[in-house]
Structure 1
Amino acid sequence: MAEKRGYSALTAALHLVMAVGIFYLFALSWWMLALPWGDARPFPYQMHKNVGLTVILLVVIILFDRFRRRPGPLPRSMSGWMRKLAIVDHAALYFLILLACLSGYLSSAYSGWGITFWWTVDLPNWGEENEPLNQFFSDIHIWACWALFAVLATHIGGALYHAFRNDGVVRRMLRF
């Protein structure tokens, strides 16, 4: 059987869904943190947790599909340093997405507020309410999100660069 090349339709679609989810998480977090304490806060916080946990699942599916089906080499028009930067950028993206989502989950688990995944499955808290651990994971979450924001800017800049060069890199992902 011949080796399949290019990203699968599943990976291409999930990449776009994950991108929308991550930008939604950034927008939602800025809005929910500005809300006054009271009855309006629990829903956006729970929605933030649900989308963050869903992003973890999307990353796992994308990585599984990525290693199962190799997309093939990057175009020869890319210089060596660009190829290396692309590898570092993608590794940093996956690492920071997982770090941000997992640290957010752990912060919530130690905050005393439970997590019910999409209002149907209660997830474990891993321990009792613990403010120092909550703060520790919250700090990691915030720093990971800011680092993710910076790496996403690089990623989007690279995608735009390749789109304007029309060198085939963007077409590999979008499958056209």
Structure 2
Amino acid sequence: MAANALEARRQAALAREKIRRYDIVSIVLHWLTVLLVLVQIVAGLVMTDLERGTTQDVLYYTHKSVGIAVLLVVLLRLLWRIGHPWPPLPPDTPSAQAGLARLNHLLLYVMLLVMPISGFVFTAAGGYPVPFFGLVDLTGVIAKNPDLAKTAQWVHLSAQWVVYALVALHVLGALYHLVVRKDGVFQRMWP
């Protein structure tokens, strides 16, 4: 029995050594997404608490522009993913855990599309300017429509809580693999 347990540990250690990393493009796009989402969270939380003025205007401009950048990066990630699938999880990963990880990834992708699209629709249909880093002005792409703007605003403001929860679960899962399982999953995406 002890020999079987020892052999199982040895096989698990060998499997961990063979864990495939994500390709460099996936890693760069992942960490770019992380950076952009952090900017969005900070700008989004701070801008609404400021008094009207230059600082608030800059934060709204940044939030709108970075939101469009998030949308573009996530679309690029999805296109890249078509030809570059996720590396497999270690063979000893419980199937329920693997399923939850895939579900979390899927929902993160969905929400990282819902958030910028709803923000864009809320802004454009509300008749507000929609800048993209001063390169393109997307104002007027959607006709002013207060009812549509109100619905998109509700979606945008509600969905942020889903994003926070999914990101927290994603980070906790990554830390679980790093600290508890020590199975190399965390290192697959680490630059």
The TM-score normalised by the length of structure 1 is 0.90
Offset, 1:10: 1.1
2:175 — aligned with what?
A: 160
- d(CA) in 1 for partners of 2:125 and 2:103? 32
- 2:44 corresponds in structure 1 to 29
For the 8 Å contact 2:71–2:116, the answer to whether it is kept is yes
Superposed CA offset, 1:63-103 (max 9, x none): 11122112332111210001100110000000011001100
Map 1:1-176; keep pairs closer than 5 Å.
6-164=21-179, 165-174=181-190
Contact 1:6–1:70 under 8 Å retained in 2:
no
Paired residues in the alignment total: 171
Greater Cα shift, 20-29 or 35-44 = 35-44
Mapped partners of 2:73, 2:141: distance in 1: 23
Q: Greater CA deviation, 66-75 or 87-96? A: 66-75
Distance in structure 2 (CA, Å) of the matches to 1:44 and 1:19: 18
What is the aligned-residue identity percentage?
A: 31
Change (3 A) 1:123 1:17: same
Deviation string 1:123-146 (CA, Å, 9 cap, x unpaired) is: 153443222221110110011111
Can you give the 5+ residue segments of structure 2 that lack an aligned partner in the other structure? 1-19
Counterpart in 1 of 2:15? none
CA distance in 2, matches of 1:152, 1:136: 24
Runs of 4+ in 1 over 3 A off after TM superposition: none
The worse-fitting range, judged by mean Cα deviation, of 125-134 and 160-169 is 125-134
TM-score after normalising by structure 2? 0.84
The Cα RMSD (Å) is 1.5
What secondary structure is seen at the aligned counterpart in 1 of 2:48?
helix
How far apart, CA to CA, are the structure 2 residues paired with 1:154 and 1:121? Answer: 35
SS in 1 for 2:78: helix
Verify the 8 A CA contact 1:77 1:167 in the aligned structure 2: no
Q: Please give the secondary structure, in 2, of the residue aligned with 1:102.
A: helix
Q: Tell me which structure has the larger Cα radius of gyration.
A: 2
Q: Given that residues 100 and 141 in structure 1 are in contact (C-alpha distance below 8 angstroms), is that contact kept between their aligned partners in structure 2?
A: yes
